[in-house]
Amino acid sequence: MNKIYKYLLAIAALAAAGFGIYEYTAPDKYQYWKELIAKDPKPDGISEQEYREKLRAGYCWRDRKFYTPEELHRKAMVSFAGRLLGETEAYKANMTTNQVFYGSRLRTSRKGL
C-alpha cells in the first residue's frame, strides 16, 4: 500500500511540474496587443479620452502628426510587406544553409534528380 502512495505522489508531482512548465512557456494571448501598445504608447499627461479621440482621428503619437485613412492604410501595407519580405529572406537563408549541409545527401538519393 505504501508503494501505491509513492507512485501516486510521483505522478501528481510530474503533473504539477508539467502544468508549471506549460504555464511558464505558454504564449500570452495578448502578445500582439502588447506589441502594438509598445510601438505607440500613450504619453504621460494625456487623458485616456483625449488619447482615444486622437487615435480615432488618425493621430500618430510617435510621428506627432495626423494621417488620413489612405495614408494609414499605406503605412500598414508597407509595414506588412516589409515583415513578409523579412520572413522570406530568413527562409531563403535557412534553405541555403540546409542545402549546403544536406545537399550531398539529396543528390545521392535513389530516385535521382
- 111 or 51, higher pLDDT: 51
Q: From CA 40, how far away is CA 62, in angstroms rounded? A: 6
pLDDT at 74 over 50: yes
Position 66 confidence tier, pLDDT thresholds 50, 70, 90: very high
Q: What is the mean pLDDT of residues 89-103?
A: 65
Q: From CA 58, how far away is CA 76, in angstroms rounded? A: 13
Q: From CA 97, how far away is CA 91, in angstroms rounded? A: 10
Show the cell assigned to 1. Answer: 500500500
- 94 or 14, higher pLDDT: 14
Position 32 confidence tier, pLDDT thresholds 50, 70, 90: confident
pTM of the entire structure? 0.42
pLDDT at 51 over 50: yes
